[in-house]
């Protein structure tokens, strides 16, 4: 999926949703922009614009198309009970996100490319669909033929096990992990408001 100028997108949305914007340079740019805006007469943001911004944050965070996100939202609303939790569980269960969460890739974009290029095996089957849903009990690993690739050099030494969520298990030495439980939604870990996203699509 072609995204566009990441720095400009993140600045427009007001959140460091890409790795290249999670820097001091971006934070300083945001601070300078805030000072410029404060000199002007503040305007009230409409509900629609606020919801649109939160929707865009979610979409770019997970690297999805508009069509994919709409489908996930429709599925969550259709389930009826706790649509926010259902939506976040579905997003976090994407194979590219699971690979990212396990620490196999530094960013979701890298994880998506890793899956697309066939480096990941799920339940013994080579998988090339980043959006594929991983379920409880599924086992993912790096393909045998990819283990000597440069991206996995010194992996054990550089892997940050503390960042792996408790709903995943991952063995850095074996380059293998599994989903132990359904992903849980932690508001403090997100840069967007999923409730606003649901309201956007409910208009």
114-127 pLDDT per residue, tens: 999 999 999 999 99
Tens digit of each residue's pLDDT (9 = 90 or more) over 28-55: 555 555 544 444 444 578 999 999 999 9
Are 125 and 202 contained in the same domain?
Answer: no
How high is the mean pLDDT of the chain? 85
The pLDDT score that the predictor gives to residue 180 is 97
Does residue 79 sit in the same domain as residue 105? no
Radius of gyration of the CA atoms of the chain, in A: 18
| 13-17, 76-80, 86-90: range with highest mean pLDDT | 86-90
Q: Under 8 Å CB-to-CB from 71, ≥6 apart: which residues?
A: none
Reported as type and span, the H/E element at residue 177 is strand 176-179
Name the residue range of residue 137's domain: 94-179
Phi-psi category of residue 164: left, alpha or beta, with phi > 0 → left and psi -120 to 50 → alpha: beta
User: Of 160, 203, 173, 191, whose CA–CA distance to 62 is shortest?
Assistant: 191
Give per-residue burial for 63-101: e unless 16+ CB within 10 Å, then b: bbeeebbeebbeebeeeeeebebbbbbbbbbbbbbbbbb
Q: Give 203 or 119, the one with higher predicted confidence.
A: 119
104 shares a domain with 85: no
> For 174-196, what is the mean pLDDT?
92
CATH number of the CATH domain containing 120? 3.10.290.10
The string of pLDDT tens digits covering residues 2-25 is 555 665 666 666 666 665 555 555
Neighbouring-strand partners of residue 169 = 178
């Amino acid at each position: 999926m072609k995204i566009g100028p990441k720095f400009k997108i993140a600045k427009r949305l007001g959140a460091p949703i890409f790795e290249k914007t999670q820097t001091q340079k971006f934070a300083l740019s945001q601070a300078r922009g805030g000072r410029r805006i404060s000199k002007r007469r503040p305007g009230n943001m409409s509900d629609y614009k606020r919801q649109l911004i939160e929707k865009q944050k979610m979409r770019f965070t997970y690297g999805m198309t508009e069509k994919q996100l709409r489908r996930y939202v429709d599925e969550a609303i259709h389930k009826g009970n706790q649509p926010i939790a259902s939506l976040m569980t579905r997003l976090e269960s994407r194979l590219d996100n699971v690979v990212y969460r396990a620490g196999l890739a530094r960013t979701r974009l890298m994880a998506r490319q890793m899956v697309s290029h066939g480096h990941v095996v799920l339940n013994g089957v080579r998988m090339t669909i980043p959006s594929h849903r991983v379920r409880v009990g599924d086992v993912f690993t790096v393909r045998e033929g990819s283990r000597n690739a440069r991206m996995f050099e010194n992996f054990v030494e550089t892997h940050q096990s503390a960042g792996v969520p408790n709903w995943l298990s991952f063995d850095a030495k074996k380059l293998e992990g599994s989903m132990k439980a359904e992903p849980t939604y932690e508001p403090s870990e997100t840069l967007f408001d999923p409730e606003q996203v649901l309201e956007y699509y409910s208009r």
